[in-house]
Structures are given as structure tokens and as C-alpha cells.
Structure 1
Amino acid sequence: MSTRTYSDAIECLNSLQSNKATLDAVKATGGRLNDLAIPEMVEYWERIHNHTRDELNTLNVIHITGTKGKGSASAFTSSILCHVKPEWKIGLYTSPHMVSVRERIRINGTPLSEEVFAKFFFEVWDALDANTQRKNPNTPVRPMYFRFMTLVAFHAFIKLKVNATVLEVGVGGTYDSTNIVPRPVVTGITSLGFDHQGVLGNTLGEIASQKAGIFKEGVPALTVSQPEEGLKSLRKRAKELELHLIEVPSTGFSEIKLGLAGTHQASNASLAVKLAQIFLRQKASIEPEYPLPKSYIDGLQNVRWPGRCQTVPDPGHRRITWFLDGAHTPESLDCCMQWFVSPGVGLTLQPSPRRPIRALIFNITHGRSGNSFLAAMQTAQATQLKIYGRDEDSQTFFDHVIFCTNVTYVSGSWKKDLTAVSTSEQELAQLKTQKELASAWSEQNPSFPQSSIHIVPTIEHAVNVVRGLESESNDTDVSVLVTGSLHLVGGLIEAASLSDIAL
């Protein structure tokens, strides 16, 4: 039993992934199958080493949800706590991962080691095997992938005796598997928008109601500035629970160089600061200070969150720079383009006839509308060029576009941690999504040369296309934006051998 490795754990974990047909069936119900999510999750938890639901309160949870920015806000919050209380153990649970599954479970910002991850993984795996008694015999012996990972995280944090847990919601709020914590210390909501899964409701108000499902009676609840429709739903739920909803403005960061790029990060940083202040007042009797003390500023400046508005010089190809952003909703893609189409990133600092070759690597998942996503990017791109007074044609802003699948290697194999069984093998073989994206790009950019549109079957193929541009570029630099999917960005980090720098 003790010889089981991290690789063994990942093989077992991947066996819990839902196939595409199962995911489509859940979507077809409008998410109503989620009604069983919380009672089932509680039952799974109680089957593991006699854990109790109330025991989760000892984790001292800061619970964070939202449509975009919840991962960044979680990373900021964890980093602040680590700097204010360096003697503490700060647990951080997020999803998805970039390259390695163990990135989802961190202590003081560092992922669990492979050995420690495997230990806790198999403690949960074996406990569910040993205790198969269920209230509902139709409930699977083990939960699906994300629920299982949440159980592993909870179990690990309890065994490691963390002082605080920053807990990022997976999807939504009300029915999310993280929402079995009876009483978090404080909850927070980042920017609201339309989730790409499309199962949480058709209006912003309905989406906000789902996110507000993490609110608990008597627990402080925070939100960043929201559209009025969403804010109305959040206030309604807060009133039902007789709690005060604190609305956090995005101010006070003009003199601080945040560790995460993008103007939208000010909102996430503001929320993180307020979450940390409330938490530290309750759990460490530390009163908020204004202006922010050095420990808070250090936490904001030194945060690391790979794959979000991240610039990575290629260590083996000096003229290639990768710009990585796992944006996968219309709102996050708009933020991505605000970041990339700005001086010092995708634009030269001053208008110049000599600029880097620009390439876009793009993919989407889960049946999202490629046409609308690309159109939104195009609109944001044109707006940014106008803001900065650049007379470039937005249709030819990129010199090359590359549409690929999320399969990692040219061989057709995946890195184990990045394997996705929900992807249709037939669609992969036919490059259906990639061809649709290429067609949408051509329709939206009729002057774009067809020879500069590349449809390739793997991420490694896309990397090879970029490196081919470098070799043909006659000493011109190559700037590559990789976006549309966190899975794509994670696979790119692996396929381009960027892990040592990017992670």
C-alpha cells in the first residue's frame, strides 16, 4: 500500500472524470441534478476517517466565489495572510490546475509535494473503499473528480492543522462541493458575469443568487462593485440571512505594483485586503491599519498566480515571449485584451514601424461559442488600439493565429495531470472546434491571409509553429498570446518547457 505513487494517484483520479455524455446530460437538466450535491458531499465526508461536518469549521475558512477573478482574489488573500502571519500554516484550495494536480492544494503558497499528495489522496480513496454504506444506494462509492479533490483538500488541511483556509468555489456557490463548510469566517464575491457552463441561469440576477449561496447567517459577506441586477440579488440574499453585505470599492492601489498584471486586479486585491482584515481581526485580534502596513503590501506585490496575465520569456528561444492568460469567459477575455493590447505588453511602448511578430494561440472547451468569443476579443482589441492612439488595423493586429486542441503532445498523448476524458475523441480527430474557430476568424477578419491561419491537433504542434516563426523572422521578436482556456495555458507551459519559470 505504501508504494503507491503520485502517478498512481493521478491515474485513480482521472478514472473519476465524467465523460462528455455525462456532462451533457447534467447540462440538459439546467443543473437540477445539483440538488443532491450538498447532501451527497456531506455523506462522502463523513465516510472518511469519522470526519464530521462541524470539524470543517476548525479550518477557519475564507470562502470566495465569483465569475471572474475568484482565483486571483484567493491567491492575493493567501499571500497577504502568509506575510502578516508567517508563523501560520495557510491552506489554499483552488481549481483548475495549470500543470500538476497538486497545485490545487497549497500550504503557504507551495503545492503539496508528490509524496504528501499521494499519502492524503490514498487515505481518502481507501477510506471510501472501506466504508461503502450509503443512505442512497444509487450514490456512487466515490464522487466525481472535483468533489473528490475537495475531500482530499479538506482532509489534508485538517491533518496538517492549518490556521486558515482560503477556499475557492469551483462553480456557482449554492451547490458547489466546497459549500459544505457550516460556518466560514468570512465570504467574498468577485466580479459577476455569465458563466461559460450556461447551467446557472439566464440572467445575471439568477447567477448572483447562485453565488450568494455561500453566504451564511451571521458570517460577514463581501462583494466588489457589481452590475445593479447582480447586486440586487446579493442584497436580497443577505437580507434573508440578516447579515450586512459589505461592498468593497476598488481603490487605494495606485502606488502599489500588484504582483498580478491587469487593471482588473485592483478589484481582486481590494476584496482580498478586506477579507484578510476581517479574518485577522476575528482570528488574531489584529485591527485594520490605514494606510496598509508593509506586510499587506508585500503580500500584494509578491503574489504568484500562474497563467493569469503572465509574461514568460522563453528560456530556450530568446526572441520568443509568451503572454499567458487562461481567460475563458467573455468578461475575462475582455480583461485579457485590455492587458495584452497595451504599451509594454502586446504594443511597443511608443508607436514604431518595427514591432514583434504577434501570434495568437486559442482554444475553447465545453461547447462554448467560438464566434462570440472571438468577436468579443476583436471588439476589445479595436477599443484598446483607439485608446492608445494606434492606427493599426485591428483585423491584422495578429500576424498569425493558431487554433489547437488541448492535447499536450505531438504523439497525441496528454500529460497525465492534464488528461481530459470529457473531450470528444471524434471531435478531436476531426478538429471540429478548431475548424469552426478558424472559419469564424475568417468571417470576422476577411482581410486576414489564409496562409497565416493554422489548425493543428496538439499544443506541441502550436509551439512548433511559433518556433518556426522565430526561425523565419530574420531577428524579429515573436510575441505570443495564449488564451481561451486554462487547460490550454497549462498544456502550453508543459509543452514549451516553461514550468521552471512560469510556475
Structure 2
Amino acid sequence: MAEGCNDGSSIPTMTPYEEALDALSSLITKRSRADKSNKGDRFDLLFDYLKILELEEAITEMKIIHVAGTKGKGSTCTFTESILRNCGFHTGLFTSPHLIDVRERFRLDGVDICEEKFLAYFWWCYDRLKEKATEDIPMPTYFRFLALLAFKIFAAEQVDVAILEVGLGGKFDPTNVVQKPIVCGISSLGYDHMEILGNTLSQIAGEKAGIYKDGIPAYTVPQPDEAMNVLVEKASKLNVPLKVAEPLDAKLLNGLKLSLEGEHQYLNAGLAIALSSTWLQRTGHHEFTYLKQDSPLPEQFIKGLTTASLQGRAQKVPDQYIDAESYGDLVFYLDGAHSPESMEMCARWFSLAIKEDSQKKAFNYPPQNNSGSTIELAQGNPNDRYGKSSMQILLFNCMSVRDPQLLLPCLMKTCASHGVYFKKALFVPNTSVYNKVGSHALPTDSEVDLSWQLTLQRVWENLIQSDKGGEAKYADAVCEEGKEDTKMSGSACENSAVFPSLPLAIKWIRESVLQNRSVRHQVLVTGSLHLVGDVLRLVKM
């Protein structure tokens, strides 16, 4: 313990890493990302920062792959890094957001940067920028600093290839200080961050195409016509050879599976293959190049695609809190979907995953006698095989700039089309939104404003009542009556509950498991990558 103030009180000593996170937190602006009044929004400031950090020449020499998009850009970057690493190259990968630890954003050869290196590079950048800060050139904001830090790390570590995921948009994203990438990619486009990027697909596509550079090849995936027309037009104006990467044919994996789950990952894998092949070709490494769908994939590509890892996207995590006897009684299915299109993909993945898990348990479950084979048992009701039924629970939150009237119906209807219905929906605030990067200074439950979560709950209850053919207004009445049902929640309804904190929601779920040993609890966590990260942090403790 460190000595406290004159009154004799004491405060816990912060570790060097926590001190760095505190300094990083000081760069988080409380302004809305859509607020253009902040002086720090000037894009040209980034070039001043590069000059202060002496990174101008290093960036021009870096062999960069730059990827924008609405959905799948993180997965595309992860596949691309894994492919090139398996080809023998020293890789640097910058992605966002992080889920548990900010160091996840900076990967060297597929591994998060170690704490020692992070601290060295962090203070090198922070101290120089702080020393040179003026009214005209203020300290960079949070994400700008992280992008600058990524450039410093990759330059100092002398990576062979740097794969950069755009944080938001494209044209004015901090990663777009790159003037001469080797190749650019644009993943699937959809409606997201509309308060900043525009309300139409054409406006959004125009912002994403801002990463195009004169004469530099670019790839995209099949897009809606409205978006594709803009991408083609922008490419033509800059003499950009734009090509469409087709989804990967699963047969090319020689019987193996993509390491990232979900049908949509074949789209991202196809884009990653095109980006990797073009990078190899343009940097003179022709021995690995693959540009034709009808030819076999190089072994290194297959290994890269089947071993890549990315947390929080179609990820299954059995709860380690539950005892070994009950292993599998509580499984969290995590996906950071936060747009209508990705929500539909998430719902489809979850629905298929829980059924697939039931099938796996069926084949592992021995018959009680010789009257029926395991295969015959698998053809019946999965729950009957071991006397356990399954219960699906939704754990949800989304940012207030997103429209739950678009997200929640998409989720509910897609799950219902696969015969999946949630017994309960739990709405919680994120713990990672309180202007702190670390987890050592979080608010108490009483300080949390639950008005947004109550709004989400009303949307959900209205959807259920509408689906039942009842009056939508009935949902509010159900919630009023249910408020006394639990002391833990801000509002408990027949089909949903609001909790003031995530730990309380997890506690409620775990207690439900212990009280219902005959029921397997399958919890879908979605709506926000921040929420997914918060759950991972709690479940993996």
C-alpha cells in the first residue's frame, strides 16, 4: 500500500501497467464521435503527430495491407495475418476494439504484444507527444494515439507486413495516414455508424472507399448494387484496379474447417486470400501466390485459415465456475454483432451451433442398453438422451446510437425461423464504457443510469407481445407487475429483466443453473463487442 494524504488514509499502489492505462484513459474524449466541433477532429493533425514521433519515413517503408468495411473486417485481417505468418513472414496486426486487454489490439506474429514492450513503446510515444503538445497541436485523442502507437510498434519491431483494420469509416480514420499501402480491402458493407458515415449505403461506401490510393490495387466482396456502384466509381477516379473476391470454396480446405465459425466467414476468407496473394505478388514472393479459385490452395494458406483465432466472434465458452460434474450446463455463445446484417448472421450461427452441440453430445452419450445404437439415439430429441432440456437466454446491450427496433427483431425472427426461442432476455450496461481503459476504477451499481437498458427491455417485450398477437402496451404492465420478482434487477418482466451490472446478471444465470440441474443453459451474448469483452473477462477469471 502506498502512503496516502495527510489524513493518514491509504490508497492501493497502481502497477506500471495501470499507470499507463490511466494515462491512456485521459485521452478518451467525452464528446460524441459524431461531434465535429472538437479541434482534435482535424485529420491533418495526424501528420504533425507522425513528424513528432519521427515515423514519417518508417510508414513509407512499411508494407501495409489496409482493410475497411462494416462487417467482417476484423475477421478478414485475422485470416490475412495468419496466412502470411504461416508463409514465414514477421507480421504485425492492428485491430479494434479490444475485448479484455488493450494489448490485444497489437499483435506480433499472432500474439498480443507483451506488457514490457507495450509499456516501453507507450511511454516513448506518450511522453514525446505530451512534451510537444500545444493549443494548435493538442494531445491526440484515444484512438488516434492507439493508431500512432501501432505504427511505432510495427516500425520498431521491423515487421515484414503490417495489417491495419480501419477503426471507423475510412477516409478520416487515423489508419488512413498511410499513403502507399501494398493492397487495400473492403469487406461487407451495411448500415452502421450512420450518425457519422451517412444514412445510405452509397454514403457509407463513399467513406469506406476513402482508403483507396492512386493506382494501388483493391479488393472487395460481393456488395449490394448501391454500394458496389460507388466503390467502382471511386476506384475509377483514382485508377484503382478494383476486383471482387469470391467466397472461399470449402472444398479447397481439403476436409478441414475454417477456424472462425459461421457461414459468412467464407466470404471473409475469400477476401483474405485475395489480399494475401496480392501482397505476396507485389512484394516479389511468387512462390506462394494463389489467384485462381480452380487451383489448389497452398498448404500455408490452408493452415492460416484453419488456425486463425479471434475472440468474441462466434465464440463458445463453457463457464468455468460450474463444477466438473455439470460441465456444459452453462455455455456462453459470444458474438459482437451490432448491425442488422451481422445480427442475422449471429442468430443463424447461434441457432445452428446449439443444435450442433446437441448432436455432438448425442454421439458422445452411450446408450443405456443394446436396444438402440448411438446413431439411432441421435435421430430423436437431443434433450431426451441424457434427461436434460435446454434453455436459451439472451444477454444483450448495444450502444444508444444504434436502433434496437432494427437489431432485436432481426435477432428474434432469425432464431425463431430455426425453432429457437429465448426463455429470458437480460439487459445490462457495459462495464467498459466509463472512460476507463482498465478495470480498476468502475462505478458502483447505484451510479449506473439504466434508462437505455429499460428502453431495450420495452422493445423486447413489445416484440414478444406483438408476436403473440396481443397488445404491445401490455408489455409495460407485465414489467410493472414483475418488478417485485427479483431484488437484483432494475426491472423484471415475464420474458426479460434489467440488471444494474453484468456481474449480477452472471450471478443470476449461475444460480439458475444450480437450481435447475436438469436444464442446460445456453446464453447468447451479443449487441456489443464491449459487452462480449466484459463477459469474457468475468467468465475467464
Same fold per superposition (TM over 0.5): yes
Partner of 1:406: 430
Cα pair distance change 1:346/1:197, threshold 3 Å? farther
Q: Corresponding residue for 1:116? A: 117
The answer to whether the 8 Å contact 2:317/2:331 transfers is yes
CA distance in 1, matches of 2:17, 2:495: 41
Q: CA deviation at 1:286?
A: 2.0
User: Structure 2: how far apart are the matches of 1:414 and 1:235?
Assistant: 39
Of residues 463, 473, 477, the one that matches 1:444 is 463
CA contact (8 A) 1:262 1:339 kept: yes
After superposition, the C-alpha distances for 1:113-160 in whole angstroms (9 at most, x for unaligned) are 111111100000111122236xxx4442x1110000011110111111
Give the distance between the partners of 1:428 and 1:451, measured in 2 at CA.
Answer: 26
SS at match of 2:497: strand
- Gaps of at least 5 residues in structure 2 are 1-13, 360-378, 384-388, 469-474, 479-492
Aligned residue type for 1:352: N
Q: Secondary structure at the match of 1:341?
A: helix
Separation (CA, whole Å) in 1 of partners of 2:15 and 2:210: 38
1:51 matched to 2:83: no
Is the aligned partner of 1:69 residue 2:72? yes
The letter of the residue matching 2:157 is L
Matched residues in 2 for 1:405 and 1:418: separation? 15
Moved more, 5-14 or 352-361: 352-361
DSSP-derived class of the 1:263 partner: coil
Give, in angstroms, the shift of residue 285 of structure 1. Answer: 2.1
Higher alpha-carbon deviation: 254-263 or 9-18: 254-263
1:382, CA displacement in angstroms? 2.7
Q: Is the 8 A contact 2:395 2:523 kept in 1?
A: yes
Aligned to 2:259: 259
1:100-499 residue pairs with structure 2 within 5 A? Answer: 100-132=101-133, 137-140=135-138, 142-254=139-251, 255-287=255-287, 288-289=289-290, 290-317=295-322, 318=327, 319-342=329-352, 344-345=354-355, 348-349=358-359, 352=381, 354=383, 355-383=389-417, 385=418, 392=419, 397-407=421-431, 416-417=437-438, 429-446=448-465, 450-497=493-540
Q: Which amino acid aligns with 1:277?
A: S
| CA positional deviation for 1:44 | 1.1
- SS at structure 2 position matched to 1:477: strand
One-letter amino acid matched to 2:426: I
Distance of 2:214 and 2:355 partners within structure 1 = 45
Name 1:15's counterpart in structure 2.
26
**Per-residue CA distance 1:173-225 (angstroms, 9 max, x = gap):** 00000000110000000000011352111110111111011111121100011
Q: For residue 128 of structure 2, give the secondary structure of its aligned residue in structure 1.
A: helix
Of residues 436-445 and 338-347 in structure 1, the stretch that sits farther from structure 2 once superposed is: 338-347
Q: Give distance in 1, aligned partners of 2:539 and 2:194.
A: 29
Q: 2:390·2:520 contact (CA, 8 Å) conserved in 1?
A: yes
Code of the aligned partner of 2:99 = M
Q: 1:420-448: per-residue Cα shift (whole Å, max 9, x none)?
A: 99x9x999633111111111111000259
Which has the higher mean CA deviation after the structures are superposed, 63-72 or 342-351? 342-351
Distance 1:207 1:420, change over 3 A: farther
**Would the aligned equivalents of 1:403 and 1:434 in 2 still touch at CA under 8 Å?**
yes
Q: Deviations over 1:229-264 (max 9, x none)?
A: 100000011100112111111132244400000000
Root-mean-square deviation over aligned CA pairs:
2.6
Residues 258 and 166 (structure 1), Cα distance of their counterparts in 2 relative to 1, 3 Å cut: same
Give 1:401 deviation, angstroms. 1.2
Deviations 1:388-415 (A, max 9, x none): xxxx4x6xx111211101127xxx9998
Q: Which secondary structure state, in structure 2, belongs to the residue aligned with residue 77 of structure 1?
A: helix
CA distance in 2, matches of 1:182, 1:102: 26
Does residue 1:78 correspond to 2:81, yes or no? yes
8 Å CA contact 2:400, 2:452 repeated in 1: no
Tell me, in whole angstroms, the C-alpha distance in 2 between the residues paired with 1:172 and 1:427.
36
Contact 1:105 1:112 survives alignment (8 Å): yes
Instruction: Please state whether the residue corresponding to 1:216 is helix, strand or coil.
Output: coil
Structure 1: how far apart are the matches of 2:398 and 2:98? 16
- Separation of aligned partners in 2, 1:378 and 1:7: 40
| Distance in 2, Cα, partners of 1:206 & 1:43 | 29
Is the 1:346–1:479 Cα contact (8 Å) retained in structure 2? no
CA distance in 2, matches of 1:469, 1:490: 23
Contact 1:60 1:163 (8 Å CA) reproduced? yes
Separation in structure 2 between the aligned mates of residue 71 and residue 486 of structure 1, nearest angstrom: 12
Deviations along 1:262-305, one digit per CA (max 9) or x if unpaired, are 00000000000110011111224224243101111000000100
- Cα pair distance change 1:306/1:343, threshold 3 Å: closer
Q: CA deviation at 1:419?
A: 8.4
Aligned residue in 1 for 2:34: 27
Distance 1:275 1:439, change over 3 A: same
Letter in 2 for 1:171: L
Change beyond 3 A, Cα 1:196–1:294:
same
Structure 2 vs 1, CA of residues 131 and 343 (structure 1 numbering), >3 Å: closer, same or farther? Answer: closer
- Are the equivalent residues in 2 in contact too, given 1:363–1:404 (CA < 8 A)? yes
Higher relative contact order (CA 8 A, sep 6+): 1
Q: CA deviation at 1:352?
A: 2.5
CA distance in 2, matches of 1:106, 1:178: 16
TM-score with structure 1 setting the length: 0.87
Q: How many residues align?
A: 467
Is there any run of 5+ residues in structure 1 with no aligned partner, and where? Answer: 386-391, 499-503
Task: Describe the superposition over 1:63-100 as per-residue Cα deviations: whole angstroms up to 9, x where unpaired.
Answer: 00100000000000000011111xx3200000000100
Q: 1:4 offset after TM fit, Å?
A: 7.6
Q: Compared with structure 1, are the counterparts of its residues 353 and 260 closer, same or farther at alpha carbon in structure 2 (3 Å cutoff)? A: closer
Offset at residue 416 of structure 1 (A) = 4.5
TM-score by length of 2: 0.81
Determine if contact 2:64/2:161 at 8 Å carries over to the other structure: yes
Question: Is contact 2:425–2:496 with CA below 8 Å preserved after alignment?
Answer: yes
Which residue matches 2:367?
A: none
Preserved contact between residue 196 and residue 329 of structure 1 (Cα < 8 Å): no
Matched residue of 1:430: which SS? coil
